[in-house]
Structure 1
Amino acid sequence: MTQAGDTTVRPGRPGAAAAGGVPVDEPPRPDRIRRPSDAFRFAAAIIGLAAVLLLVSIAQQTTHGLQTDITEGTAHAPRLLLYLATLASSFGVLAVPVAFAAERLFHKDGMRVAIALLAAVIAFVVTLVLDDWVVPAAPGGVLDSLIWGGTRTAPAHVDIAPVIAFVTAVGMAGRPRWQIATWSMIGLTALTGLTASYASVSALAATYFLGRAIGHGVRYAVGTPNPRPPGTAVMAALERLGLRPVRARMLPGGAEADRHYGVAVAHAPGAAPVDATGAALPPGEWQLDVSVLDRDAQSAGLLYRMWRLARFREATPGRALRSLRRSLEQESLTAYAVAAAGARTPRLTAVSDVGTEAALLAFEYVPGRRLGELPPNEITDELLTDVWRQLQCLQHARLAHHRLEGEAVLVTDTGRACLVDLGGGEIAAGDLALRLDVAQLLTTLALRIGPERAVATAAAVLGEQTLAGVVPLLQRVALSRNTRAALRHDKDLLTRIREQIVRLEPEIEAAPVRLERFRPRTIVSIIALSFAAYIVIPQIGSIDLVRLASTAQWWWVLTALAASGVTYLAAALMLMGFVPERLPLGRTVLVQIAASFVKLVAPAAVGGVAINTRYLQRSGVRPGPAVASVGASQLMGMVTHILLLIVFGFVTGSTRTATKDLAPSRTIVIVLLALAVLASAALAVRRVRRVVTTRLRSMFSGVVPRLVDVLQSPRKLCTGLGGTLLLTVAFVVCLDASVRAFGGSLPWTTVVVVFLTANALGSAAPTPGGLGAVEGALTLALTISGLTAETATSAVLLFRLLTLWLPVLPGWAAFTYLQRKEAI
């Protein structure tokens, strides 16, 4: 119960009051928070530990040589000095942390000490498990490399790992004397371990990163005391600035990491809040919009900003992680510069620190709603024109906003536009940054009211020439994260914006702008090449090249190599036959060679389809017909494959040769009938039928009209069907020549069935290039057909070497060339 008229309430709850009796309406503050910086440091420690393990595994002689140099260098040190250092470190490495813990307990900070002790216990247990169980169970390799001289000492040192975890978890920020004392004892302990030869440099480095990882991991898992100042502290900071807040409330829409308070202030002690004219403000009116910057929130979204900074060609270099002081200065300077440029923005009235963990910026409170909150029918042409005029003021003063989304434009109650959220602003911006602002605002408005009105109102203010220069920058990579997410629901919006600008300026000739330092597919290429090398090297290493060179008949090897090369010409003809548009033969062949590289990171049936579709789109074929053309070629290839398998299966089964039959015709008939019965039973289930229908429709939608177009051109039809048959013939010749290269021989009908069966399994297998499935099927089928296991294995290795592994480097070169020419 409180007395009537008492306005003082408890801090941290709605209606909380500052010490001076200022009511602050805000939600309860959490006692503990998980700070993103702890997660980043934990990840950095894990990466450091992995780097140490990698280093000692590939540079064992270097690490052992470093240890030898340290041991020989300290051998001449006085023994008494080493003894005193060992004694001091053994005592101090535990005494200093214990003294700090006692000091914290004396100041009633027991929870902090308890969390640090938990981290120390976890580190102690982990090092014991590693030393007593893991090393004896799995000696050798990396673990032995961590141990000096190969003796059975511990690779992780139990005497300092818990201390490092304790120091990390307890946090000694702002206590330089304690930090110096603690890390001096840890360093002295490590040094004495090196001189006594019971510790190695690599083991100490691994111990350091292990302790740091456990300390930061525990801090993030348990959380740290919330350092963000409550509203009462913010009001106290305003009072120190000479302002007299009388009440405050956290404004809706702001997250805990980006807080905004509406504050009513009085001009004299005890006076009621008044507006700029001196009239008393009605209840609920605010005069200040106080933005609070929290130190721990500065690392939020750090990974995304680092990725953006590394990938995106900014007009000026930026920083992924800014200090609290730098963020405060940047937003203050931008606010003053925007106001000086004549753009409408809330006036900055005060700036101040709030303790050591936060800072505030007090802006003039402007009642209104954000542009993103307005319904489309309230966004009038007059409002749009006003928005563009505010941007024009920034453009003339060479100021870049960088965040012109719906939340960055405040529409006042009088219908005027104000620019807010200036934390990412830039002064003296370059041309690229200014043009990017126009592109961002164009897209933001087009998402709300359509590209026609957005372009028309922009042209009326900025001019058609300015918009013409923005056309090359209308790329997804140039836009903010939220805008890119919104474009997923309207994928052709950027195209429609470009079309509207071109209609205004038909003779536009804007040079393309490369906004990315590298593209995601470049990273995919690097990963694919690394993955290919990881797989290729062991595969080639398993082949006895000396035996192949001595026993193989090189005439047949060259024949198989030539047949493998013909497959790329056949694949190109197959694609060209089902595309009514004219395609250059040379470049189409290069695309098929590049597909041999792509299929190492994608299933065989997926990689070729994706790269051919991309190639057709780059060649001027619209997306729908491009997908339909590739689908038509795939459909005809599948039908031809099935027909050939059935025909040659019957021929092979009914033909008696000196070798063992692959399968009798009766068996083939039974298998086909069984498959037909199973397929019919599965399709009788409605859910299965719906799934199959949906998949087939998505794969072959538009294929029939495309086939009709091809049927009208006998030349195209012959090219497509001829390429399909030539592709099968070339692969069969390659396989048959690989068999004959090692003295084997099979009827050509049997080789056809073996290849068609293995190729079907490889296409269905989810592994890149059909790895494993094709080799197993080919080896088994060739063995059943009458070849010895040794001959079948050698032939399969040669066949896969020519058709899968050797084309990797030429495929990568073709892929890189086509990317540089923007053909894929």
Structure 2
Amino acid sequence: MRVDGRDITVSGSLLQPLTRRTNDIVRVVLSALFLAVVITSSLITRNEWVALERSISEIVAVLTPTQANLVYLVYGIAIVALPFVILVSLIVSRQWKLLGAYAAAAAIAGLALSVSGFGLTAPRWHFDLSGRLDTFASQFVDDPRWIAMLAAVLTVSGPWLPGRWRRWWWTLLLAFVPIHLVISAVVPARSLFGLAVGWFVGALVVLVVGTPGLEVPLDGAVRAMARRGCTVSTLTVVRPAGAGPLVINATCEEEQTTAVMELYGPHQRGGGVLLQLWRKLRFRDRETAPLHASMRRLVEHRALMAIAIGELKIANTSTIAVSALDRGWTLYAHTPTRGIPISEAVDSVPVARVWESLRELHDCQITHGDLRPSEITVEDGVVLFGGFDNAEYGATDAQLRTDIAQLLVTTTHLYDAHSAVRAAIAAFGNDTVLTASRRLTKAAVPMSIRHSVTDAKAVIAEAREEVKRQTRVDEIRAETVTRFTRGQVIQLVLLAALVYVAYPFLSSVPTFVTELRTANWWWALLGLAASGLTYLGAAAALWACADGLVTLRGLAVMQVANKFAATTTPAGVGGLALSARYLQKGGVSPMRATTAVALQQSVQVITHVSLLIFFSTAAGVSTDLARFVPNVTLIYLGGGVLLGLIGTFLLVPRLRHWLSTAVRPRLQEMVGHLGALAREPKRLAVIMLGCAATTLGNAFALWSAIEAFGGDTSFITVTVVTMVGGTLASAAPTPGGIGAVEAALIGGLAAFGMAAAVAVPAVLLYRVLTTWLPVFVGWQVMRWMTRNNKI
């Protein structure tokens, strides 16, 4: 490379990888989304598009056919000339590299819209073209292939040409929308599709070919270094621009010293903006620094922090130059890193010196923000810091505590937890370290810190436990650093699921309310009391499964919250997780809690099936149950599928191995627990009675709802129908079995001869008493238990 008459040797690759071109990737994503929206709206709402566009065209049409032809002619000439003007401008500006991309984009966009079932033809969309103005120019104005080619070449050549030209050309191309509407000709849906295709094709070509922002302005960087007294003789690329800046080692002629040049391109600027926005959306305001308006301001901030920390004599680099370069690049030059990495000086440097250096920073209200081992060095026994990308002057207390938590992780990894925590307490005090240790969580410790240590999860847990031992506390409650906690996100998802599953029910509310006027409310209250019996039964069964390690009263309250968690998640998995979590919070070990919940569910299934067989037999004596028996074809089909699954699991080695290593031990463990339970008759009786109370309580609630509307049927019949509906609820993929349960219960009652005028409102009242009212109450109970750290 030759700069100002001097030859400078450049070694290494300057090419940025495709996966790191943030701006180009964002352009491709946006163009793909726009194309998807245009296609979807054209296919799904085709008739609405036609009607809307024609009505708008009739309203704004103000030109006569002669005037419309004239407008078409003028605009058509401009559109025809546009690509040739762009081509000439590229030739004049000597953008020879771009000519191939220009031709490729035009050819791909044109051919993409010319392919049809009859070969290469012009596409004919859903418009009637018989009334079009028959002019030569209109063929170009309305042809989506031409629009696509123009959009593609504009997208490809835009970054290489002046911004003013680019804006005028896009304005001219997009003018087809108002022109179509004003002259009352064919409306622009086809041309809009061509525009979307052209933009997408051009964005892909730009991603492959690149933009001027990828060309590194090394000559400007060399001149900026010369102004700071460093006449560069050689440049050696250390790392191409990617996730971080382009790093180049520069040799200065005067003193034969070396300087490190970091060049930040426009793609780092785009990625930096997205990263800042993501942090603002994810973390609370006190956890994040103010937004930087540009990459240049971000680089200047880093350079100024290096100067400030250098004044404290604990910075391992010194700022040489900061300069804005051509094509959106920014230069930050500094001296090479002084000292050796802390990872190589662990045996000779006590951990206390690392914490003393951090204390010097914090005494000046400065935080580092990225205390990885690679950013800490040692020179002459003094611990120094580098990086400063995330450093802050005048930092908040939250940022100061984050620094301490980060260094706890790093020093625990480098030294050991005992000495790291002891040195931290000696430097900052017992209370400060204890407060900071609340940030020893995955959310609070940055990903860069976690990736810099081996087994970050174990290191963080070890540091937290050591803080508990040395500060003599029983528990360290994690601090909330994100805007939304995991519990809040789960509650939001559950609430959305609840609204979703309740929507079909809400549509039938008016008719249901009308029927309620004739209901007997005493029976409804009796049904509500029977519904409450199910919570006591479930609590008693779980209490016995857990050997009475938690209180029965607390379990009864938990069952109310469990109703919300189980109803709003498919197959009730949320209820199982909530039960296990409550037992753990009550002092039961995780393994024992999981076993207790699994044991309760196993006994519940056995009890449910036993009761179903018993009541079905009792009902079958006087009632025809043929309607509940599936068709013979369905039975054969189900049997064939079952046999096919069994054969698949037996023949496929991986599935067979999974059965033997994962499923079989758990089944053996469960059978063992059931066998042990059988040797304790009192405990087994409590569990089975509790499970039976859950099933029979629901049946009694449905029977009460039927009586409330004047129905006449036996309790045995209702029990069979209820258990069939409960079986379908467990198999249905919808939360709470919405839809499947109602249909099964109404169909079951109809099978026993009940009129729909009674069955429908009775089932809806039953679902209100046993599902929807408890769900809303359970939501509040779950929030209360969360606030009181019971789950």
Change beyond 3 A, Cα 1:751–1:312: same
1:269-297 superposed Cα distances (whole Å, 9 cap, x missing partner): xxxx36xxxxxxxxxxxx32222222212
What amino acid is aligned across from residue 271 of structure 2 in structure 1?
Answer: A
> Which residue, out of 327, 332, 344, partners 1:361?
332
Matched-pair contact (CA < 8 Å) for 1:23–1:246: yes
2:531 aligns to what? 564
Change beyond 3 A, Cα 1:208–1:388: farther
2:361 aligns to what? 394
Matched-pair contact (CA < 8 Å) for 2:534–2:693: yes
2:662 aligns to what? 694
> Which residue, out of 256, 281, 284, partners 1:313?
284
Cα displacement (A) at 1:221? 6.2
Cα displacement (A) at 1:304? 5.2
2:249 aligns to what? 262
State yes or no: 1:385 paired with 2:352: yes
Cα displacement (A) at 1:433? 1.1
Distance of 2:305 and 2:757 partners within structure 1: 75
> Which residue, out of 643, 649, 653, partners 2:617?
653
Matched-pair contact (CA < 8 Å) for 1:459–1:467: yes
1:7 aligns to what? none
Change beyond 3 A, Cα 1:127–1:255: same
Distance of 2:475 and 2:189 partners within structure 1: 60
2:446 aligns to what? 480
Cα displacement (A) at 1:110? 0.3
Match runs of 1:759-770 below 5 Å = 759-764=726-731, 766-770=733-737
1:480-512 superposed Cα distances (whole Å, 9 cap, x missing partner): 024456899464654543343344444799998
Report the more deviating stretch, 595-604 or 543-552.
543-552
> Which residue, out of 506, 511, 518, partners 2:484?
518
1:598 aligns to what? 565
1:289 aligns to what? 260
2:376 aligns to what? 409
Segments of structure 1 that go 5 or more residues without pairing to the other structure are: 1-10, 138-153, 275-286
Partner-residue secondary structure (3-state), 1:331: helix
Partner-residue secondary structure (3-state), 1:251: strand
1:731 aligns to what? 698
Matched-pair contact (CA < 8 Å) for 2:572–2:730: yes
Distance of 1:582 and 1:156 partners within structure 2: 75
Report the more deviating stretch, 652-661 or 485-494.
485-494
1:531-550 superposed Cα distances (whole Å, 9 cap, x missing partner): 43334323543688269818
1:310-347 superposed Cα distances (whole Å, 9 cap, x missing partner): 12124375467752312221211111111123323211
Report the more deviating stretch, 381-390 or 751-760.
751-760
Change beyond 3 A, Cα 1:640–1:207: same
Partner-residue secondary structure (3-state), 2:323: strand
Cα displacement (A) at 1:796? 5.6
Matched-pair contact (CA < 8 Å) for 1:404–1:440: yes
2:592 aligns to what? 628
2:86 aligns to what? 100
Distance of 1:738 and 1:483 partners within structure 2: 60
Distance of 2:402 and 2:586 partners within structure 1: 27
State yes or no: 1:336 paired with 2:304: no
2:295 aligns to what? 324
What amino acid is aligned across from residue 515 of structure 1 in structure 2?
Answer: V
Aligned residues between the structures:
759
> Which residue, out of 25, 35, 45, partners 1:39?
25
Partner-residue secondary structure (3-state), 1:477: coil
Match runs of 1:570-589 below 5 Å = 570-579=537-546, 580-583=548-551, 585=553, 588-589=555-556
> Which residue, out of 374, 394, 403, partners 1:437?
403
Cα displacement (A) at 1:736? 3.9
Distance of 2:275 and 2:539 partners within structure 1: 41
Change beyond 3 A, Cα 1:514–1:547: closer
Change beyond 3 A, Cα 1:175–1:812: farther
State yes or no: 1:25 paired with 2:11: yes
Change beyond 3 A, Cα 1:560–1:718: same
More helix by share: 2
Report the more deviating stretch, 501-510 or 163-172.
501-510
> Which residue, out of 114, 123, 138, partners 2:103?
114
Matched-pair contact (CA < 8 Å) for 1:348–1:362: yes
2:577 aligns to what? 610
What amino acid is aligned across from residue 362 of structure 1 in structure 2?
Answer: A
1:19-74 superposed Cα distances (whole Å, 9 cap, x missing partner): 8444433247369776222332444456678899999999x99x999998998688
Matched-pair contact (CA < 8 Å) for 2:550–2:586: no
1:181 aligns to what? 168
Change beyond 3 A, Cα 1:615–1:242: same
Match runs of 1:107-146 below 5 Å = 107=94, 108=96, 109-117=98-106, 120-121=109-110, 135=126
Cα displacement (A) at 1:424? 2.1
Report the more deviating stretch, 315-324 or 107-116.
315-324
Distance of 2:606 and 2:445 partners within structure 1: 48
Matched-pair contact (CA < 8 Å) for 1:628–1:701: no
Cα displacement (A) at 1:362? 2.1
Report the more deviating stretch, 702-711 or 96-105.
702-711
Partner-residue secondary structure (3-state), 2:297: helix
Matched-pair contact (CA < 8 Å) for 1:398–1:429: yes
Distance of 1:195 and 1:448 partners within structure 2: 73
Matched-pair contact (CA < 8 Å) for 2:101–2:209: no
**Aligned-residue RMSD, C-alpha:** 5.4
Distance of 1:817 and 1:49 partners within structure 2: 47
2:423 aligns to what? 457
Segments of structure 2 that go 5 or more residues without pairing to the other structure are: 129-140
Distance of 1:503 and 1:188 partners within structure 2: 72
Match runs of 1:19-98 below 5 Å = 20-27=6-13, 29=15, 35-44=21-30, 87-98=73-84
- TM-score of the aligned structures, taking structure 2 as reference length: 0.77
2:135 aligns to what? none
1:142 aligns to what? none
What amino acid is aligned across from residue 110 of structure 1 in structure 2?
Answer: L
- TM-score of the aligned structures, taking structure 1 as reference length: 0.75
Matched-pair contact (CA < 8 Å) for 1:341–1:397: no
Change beyond 3 A, Cα 1:50–1:690: closer
Change beyond 3 A, Cα 1:486–1:243: closer
Cα displacement (A) at 1:455? 0.8
Distance of 2:292 and 2:768 partners within structure 1: 49
What amino acid is aligned across from residue 286 of structure 2 in structure 1?
Answer: A
Matched-pair contact (CA < 8 Å) for 2:259–2:334: yes
Matched-pair contact (CA < 8 Å) for 1:683–1:689: no
Partner-residue secondary structure (3-state), 2:268: helix
Distance of 1:434 and 1:419 partners within structure 2: 16
What amino acid is aligned across from residue 190 of structure 1 in structure 2?
Answer: V
Report the more deviating stretch, 629-638 or 740-749.
740-749
State yes or no: 1:346 paired with 2:314: no
1:282 aligns to what? none
Cα displacement (A) at 1:178? 0.7
Distance of 1:237 and 1:717 partners within structure 2: 84
What amino acid is aligned across from residue 266 of structure 1 in structure 2?
Answer: E
1:603-637 superposed Cα distances (whole Å, 9 cap, x missing partner): 224111122233344x4536xx2452353133133
Partner-residue secondary structure (3-state), 2:333: strand
2:134 aligns to what? none
Matched-pair contact (CA < 8 Å) for 1:471–1:510: yes
Change beyond 3 A, Cα 1:44–1:27: closer
Partner-residue secondary structure (3-state), 2:412: helix
Distance of 1:630 and 1:229 partners within structure 2: 59
Change beyond 3 A, Cα 1:17–1:472: same
> Which residue, out of 500, 509, 514, partners 1:534?
500
Cα displacement (A) at 1:92? 2.7
What amino acid is aligned across from residue 268 of structure 2 in structure 1?
Answer: A
Match runs of 1:766-785 below 5 Å = 766-771=733-738, 774=741
Change beyond 3 A, Cα 1:612–1:27: same
